Amino acid sequence: MIIEAVVKNIKDLEPTELEKLHKEKVYLESAHLMKRIQRVETDHGREIGIRLKNPRDLEAGDILFMDDKNVIYIDVLSDDLLVIRPRDMHEMGTIAHQLGNRHLPAQFENDEMLVQYDYLVEELLEELEIPYVREERKVKQAFRHIGHSHD
């Protein structure tokens, strides 16, 4: 089976509609959400080729295939993250500036800043006394590195 487009996301389905369907998941590392072309396997052993015609990142919950009885969708494996919880705007600005200088991608959920684990960032957070925890957590989207040079 070759998938060329995402059908929709499971969050767009009615719960009653989803519970009627046989569910298969494709587990991806968050870094693989950016890949338009890849070979994957469902948790039931079905091999699938993904070759997206439109350039877009995959997201957790994206439906690759759906009919009246079955749905195959993306689930994301947990990442090793630093979950940063600044207490005020000063701490937020300080850590955002420091991470920006390192060109580290971040994601935001509620009042938390998420970055992939890096021992140097952990040392920096300790030094700056900014609250954080290290935890395994699923992210909805890939951490996207943005190319940039200091000319």
pLDDT of residue 146: 55
pLDDT of residue 145: 59
pTM value is 0.76
DSSP codes of every residue in 88-146: SHHHHHHHHHHHHHTT---EEETTEEEEE--HHHHHHHHHHT--EEEEEE--SS-----
Q: Which domains does the chain have, with CATH numbers?
A: 2-76 (2.60.260.20), 79-137 (3.30.70.790)
The band of 151, judged by pLDDT with boundaries at 50, 70 and 90, is low
pLDDT of residue 93: 93
> What are 12-33's pLDDT values in tens digits?
988 888 899 999 999 999 989 9
CB 33 within 8 A of CB 142: yes
> What are 37-91's pLDDT values in tens digits?
999 999 999 999 999 998 888 999 999 999 999 999 999 999 999 999 999 999 9
Helix axes 119-128, 89-101, angle to 10 degrees: 150
